[in-house]
Amino acid sequence: MHSGGGDSSGRWDEPPTPGGLGIQDTEARVRAIGLQESLLAAESGARRALQPVLNHPNVVAARDVPEGMQKLAPNDLPLLAMEYCQGGDLRKYLNQLENCCGLREEAILILLSDIASALRYLHENRIIHRDLKPENIVLQQGEQRLIHKIIDLGYAKELDQGSLCTSFVGTLQYLAPELLEQQKYTVTVDYWSFGTLAFECITGFRPFLPNWQPVQWHTKVRQKSELDIVVSEDLSGEVKFSSSLPYPNNLNSVLAGRLEKWLQLMLMWHPRQRGTDPTYGPNGCFRALDDILNLKLLRVLNMVTGTVHTYPVTEEETLQTVKARIQSDTGIPEQDQELLQEAGLALFSQKLATKHIADSKMNDMAAADTDLLFLFDNQKVAYEAQVALRPHPESVDCILQDPKKNLHFFQLRKVWGQIWHTIRMLKEDCNRLQQGQRAAMMNLLRYNSTLSKMKNSMASLSQQLKAKLDFFKTSIQIDLEKYKEQIEFGITSEKLLFAWKEMEQAVELCGREDDVDQLVKKMMALQTDIVDLQRSPLGRKQGGTLEDLEEQARELYRRLREKPRDQRTSGDSQEIVRLLLQAIQTFEKKVRVIYAQLSKTVVCKQKALELFPRVEKVMNLMNEDEETVVRLQEKRQKELWNLLKIACSKVRGPVTGSPESMNTSRLGSPGQLLLQVPSGTYGLSESVRRGEELLLESQKLCSQLENVIHDTMKDQEQSFMALDWSWLQLQAEETSSPEQTQM
């Protein structure tokens, strides 16, 4: 049997009926409130409150009682059938150890959304609940998250007779002041209950002197100002009023500030002012809450200080505008900011900020920081462990100063819960910083992967260039050697010789083997450093970790809470304070290790960034060298072909006989002219003699060139005949085979 948390709650059978029904017995309810109505009135009132016309996902649905089930009732009182929710009620959820200082942020937002939607629906249908409390909210597991449903509408009041009522029932801790004073009331009584409920879900305790008796409570709380949202006792017993949302809680700074102002609307003492929003007017509290729930919040962890900054962003806002706000908050110039995702991916300023925000209303699981961005300062070459601890709650600071201070049981319960929560936050903050260091490491590995690809490309390009250089150098060397062999009887050209030697000198300047070797050595050294970083001491299991200390503190707190009532005496806090001090020391030690690793990571990244332009420069130079070699090779071959063209132009017809006879035949006309000269040649003038000498020299050079061409053609013919031509014979045989087959 699952019972509710108050006297007025009925019974729920467990497991549910096959049709998903919960059967509630109204007898216990009637006795609990001492009602004297007749059976007929009880039945009609209950059925009216749970009438099927109410259809909302956050209001428990009424069901028809199956035929024959009424006979199972122990008396004549009617059975009420309603939707069965297997998740238990909100009180059970709030009583879990993990929620001692409030629910997680995601769970709070979902709960506020569900309950606000349900109350708005009831009020639109002219129904006041009047008994809104954790015991009257049940949980149903949906596809992606928990769904909250309001139950116990048996005492919901319809807004008839001028929308005013003069009777009430409910739990005193959540009742509005006008109900306690038995005054007339409106829907604003639900605002007070909703505000009280929301405050408890955020902080883990009720806002107004939760351990006081109703009479004293009412007398003291009515002294609060309109904006006060908490009245509490400190450890010395002094009552304090505050308009601020107390710490600890699990809200980010933006939500804490917005919900603080919203709670001030919901917890106003005077009912006419309660729920009135400055923007939306009377009863505008729901629209104000919608604005809060619809906020798009970008979370950024500043790895310089370890502080999480939260920024509301619009749908069209880019990271560039967010960076301007980050500069204002952190002092890091926009151009030096680097935002990384958990996987180490750097974000571009032109991207929409909302692309990096998870919808918290779609998932109520504990935050995994998957949408947390990590901020780094690119101007920093080393990170110092300057992370400040979160501020301690006032009561925790008091106990740290005097762990032997004797406290009442309810004070011990609250303080110990806050100390355990403090240790949990130390663990989470440490994990978040380690997550940031890992993001930096992943980013370094991305750079290293790109650098490795560039190294492979550079090595491949270097090998290609070396092969081309070796080929060109060998070719030009052979050309020079052959030129020397024939210089005495062949062609001589100082211009050609000079050009070849100039080419030989030019290619000596090409090739970057030394530069490539140096860069490869630097990259291999960087690779070694990165491998050492990956062998991080952060990954090794060590004794006395924050996880161990947090678990020990949890166990102490659990044993305190589960003490039998007769053993709930006063005591001190020495044991749990010792765990807190150890946790602080462990946190500071681990943060130093994290930041030492982060500094090494930043140094490696800086080395990688310095190597990128150097590798690109060497690769560009090698590309230029390759183009130079290709250009020189083309120039060399063009000069050879030009030389061959000149030689061929001197040869007309087949080459026969000796070079001398060829020379005689080719120079027949000039020779004939010479033979026609009279025998008195020696008597010619000096100019004629010189002309004859030049003609003879020209004849000699032409003969030499023709000899070279003849030898070249002969060598080519021999080389051509020396090739393997057997494939032609095979092809001929293959061609003849089909013909023979046809014959």
The single residue of 25, 89, 114, 131 carrying the catalytic annotation is: 131
What separation in angstroms does the CA of 480 have from each of 390, 483, 632?
Answer: 81, 5, 15
Asked whether 6 and 171 are in contact (CB, 8 A), the reply is yes
CA-closest candidate to residue 102, choices 207, 8, 30, 185: 207
Query: Cα 71 from chain centroid?
Result: 60
331 exposure class (CB count in 10 Å sphere: 0-12, 13-18, 19+): exposed
Nearest-angstrom CA–CA distance, 267 and 193: 9
6-13: long-range pairs with CB below 8 Å, 24+ = 6/133, 6/135, 6/171, 7/32, 7/33, 8/32, 8/33, 8/131, 8/152, 8/155, 8/169, 8/170, 9/135, 9/136, 9/152, 12/84
Q: What is the dihedral of CA 649, 650, 652, 655, to 10 degrees?
A: -120
For the chain, helix (H) and strand (E) counts, in that order, are 20, 15
Closest CA to 691 of 705, 706, 677: 677
Q: Of 494, 498, 489, 479, which Cα lies nearest the Cα of 708?
A: 489
Q: How long is the chain?
A: 743
Burial 341-379 (b: 16+ CB within 10 A, else e): bbebeebeeeeebeebbbebbeebeebebebbbbbbbee
End-to-end CA distance of the chain: 103
Q: Residue 523 is inside which H or E element, if any?
A: helix 513-534
* Cα 535 versus chain centre, distance: 23
Phi then psi for residue 183, to 5 deg, are: -100, 170
Three-point CA angle 67, 68, 74, nearest 5°: 130
DSSP state of 131: -
Amino acid at 626: E
- Cα radius of gyration rounded to whole Å, the chain: 47
Q: Could you tell me if 383 and 602 are in contact, meaning their C-beta atoms sit under 8 angstroms apart? A: yes
Q: CB of 436 within 8 A of CB of 374?
A: yes
Question: How far is 33 from 26, CA to CA, in rounded Å?
Answer: 11
CA dist., res. 309 & res. 326, Å (int): 8
Alpha helices per DSSP H over 535-658: 546-561, 574-650
Given a contact cutoff of 8 angstroms between Cβ atoms, the answer to whether 706 and 663 are in contact is: yes
Sheet with 337-340, side-by-side order of all strands = 307-313, 296-302, 373-377, 337-340
| C-alpha closest to that of 451 among 611, 617, 603, 618 | 611
Q: Is there a catalytic annotation at residue 131?
A: yes
Dist. CA 612–CA 465, nearest whole Å: 21
Residue 511 falls in which region: left (phi positive, over 0), alpha (psi -120 to 50) or beta: left
- 279 is written with which tokens? 């923007």
Catalytic residue numbers read: 131
